[in-house]
Amino acid sequence: MSEPPRFDRGHTDDLMSFLAASPTPYHAVANAAERLEKAGFRQVAETDAWDGTAGGKYVLRGGAIVAWYVPEGAEAHTPFRIVGAHTDSPNLRVKPRPDSGAHGWRQVAVEIYGGPLLNSWLDRDLGLAGRLSLRDGTTRLVDADRPLLRVPQLAIHLDRAVNSDGLKLDKQRHMQPVWGLGEDVRDGDLIAFLEETAGLDEGSVTGWDLMVHPVEPPAYLGRDSELVAGPRMDNLLSVHAGTAALAAAAGRGPELPYIPVLAAFDHEENGSQSDTGADGPLLGSVLERSVFARGGSLEDRARALAGTVCLSSDTGHAVHPNYAERHDPTHHPRVDGGPILKVNVNNRYATDGSGRAVFAAACEKAGVPFQTFVSNNAMPCGTTIGPITAARHGIRTVDIGVAILSMHSARELCGAKDPFLLANALTAFLEG
């Protein structure tokens, strides 16, 4: 028997606000934490001793967040139900010496992060955001969310064959944005501008992690507004849904048979190998400390993990109407058809038959349809945090997500219903 859905179109409205307010992983986890605080969660520091009290807690580390809810009466060996996601998206990131320019143009030196569709960043109004590290050891978020930079495309008059031979972009020479005019390029100008933007004293910033983002806000699209266009859906759509699902599951309190967890990692787009990535120790450390804080032993930890299941939620490919031949002929996920179950026998995804059963049960409970995604055999298959989580922690893991178009573009496209269908399925899963 399915339960009434927890989320509706209002969830998609809130997703759009979340996307707009989260131009970087650091902003995304801060916004997720704010939503969890409103649901009664509290932040715990990794350097403090943890207690075993019931309730919602979360840890922030850089661009990652791990949050969990311990119901009253939970035993030390109570298994976890985990929603895994990632906070980073392919983009352009500022180099250590950012101030550059030539021929009267002032530019910002950037590196390419992950695997973006480079052409989607051309001729687009761009802002600049990220994390500033200060001389006193603290950090400050900054967001210059206005048209500030632009990567100008070469005019067709100077590249007559671009429409016939295709656009060819050199990552070093062609992707450096302009942000003003002037012959005199001075080291420190960009950081001084951001110090002023953030209301900081001149010279107070000694380190930075900065990235470029489109300033055009998310929007409904289509005759009946049945689509949503926006940035960073891969994978803030899942982070937002997981945050909402965890807050909703926590409302069940002592009725929960599992300990629900949200683990949103950074650096998935470049391999997950960092202290805030899925291939790092963060999740394992939090789960183990949660067991020990409730008086558990290594045996209790082993028992808890043996009964744990993780849904690795990440966006996937909807069938493209102009390139249907690139998809498997018998698996054509559609937008607004419900979340997708991702399968790959070469373990690019972690799903197996038993995992499929867990996800099918959650969708049935939530009254949510789901679809299956398999890659065309002639095309390489991407991967997620799913196989990493399964292998690193010995946790049964299932790869799922929402089907979108324009993945890794500066502006992606999904169905307006799929975000809240995913959130309902995740809530049912966390509630067991």
- What percent of the chain lies above the pLDDT cut of 90? 96
**Of the candidates 75, 80, 36, the residue with the CA atom closest to the CA atom of residue 59:** 36
pLDDT in tens, 115-134: 999 999 999 999 999 999 99
Q: b vs e for 147-182, b when ≥16 Cβ sit within 10 Å of the residue's Cβ? A: ebbbbebeeeeeeeeeeeeeeebeeeeebbbebeee
Q: What does the alpha-carbon distance between residue 115 and residue 202 come to, in Å, rounded to a whole number? A: 35
Specify the DSSP class assigned to residue 417.
Answer: S
What DSSP letter does each residue of 204-232 carry, written as one string?
A: -EEEEEEEEEE-SPPEEESTTS-EEEES-
pLDDT in tens, 355-382: 999 999 999 999 999 999 999 999 999 9
Q: In this predicted structure, what is the pLDDT of residue 407?
A: 98
What DSSP letter does each residue of 73-100 carry, written as one string?
A: T--TT--EEEEEEE----EEEEEEEEEE
Provide the angle, in degrees to the nearest 10, between the axes of the packed helices 418-431 and 9-20. 100
Give how far Cα 231 sits from Cα of 16, 22, 213, 303, 411, Å.
Answer: 9, 10, 8, 40, 4
Specify the DSSP class assigned to residue 337.
Answer: S
Please report, to the nearest 10 degrees, the dihedral formed by the alpha carbons of residues 117, 125, 110, 233 taken in order: -50
pLDDT in tens, 209-264: 999 999 999 999 999 999 999 999 999 999 999 999 999 999 988 889 999 999 99
Segment 1-27 shows an average pLDDT of 89
With a cut of 70, say whether residue 208 has pLDDT above it. Answer: yes
Q: What does the alpha-carbon distance between residue 15 and residue 2 come to, in Å, rounded to a whole number? A: 24
Q: What does the alpha-carbon distance between residue 424 and residue 18 come to, in Å, rounded to a whole number? A: 18
Q: What does the alpha-carbon distance between residue 110 and residue 91 come to, in Å, rounded to a whole number? A: 10
Percent helix / strand / coil, the chain, rounded to 5: 30, 30, 40
Cα Rg of the chain, angstroms = 22
Q: How confident is the model at residue 1 (pLDDT cuts 50, 70, 90)?
A: very low
What residues are paired with 259 via a beta bridge? 80
With a cut of 80, say whether residue 3 has pLDDT above it. Answer: no
**Of the candidates 430, 309, 431, 426, the residue with the CA atom closest to the CA atom of residue 370:** 426
Look at residue 102 and give its three-state secondary structure. Answer: strand
Contact 60, 25 (CB under 8 A): no
pLDDT in tens, 260-277: 999 999 999 999 999 999
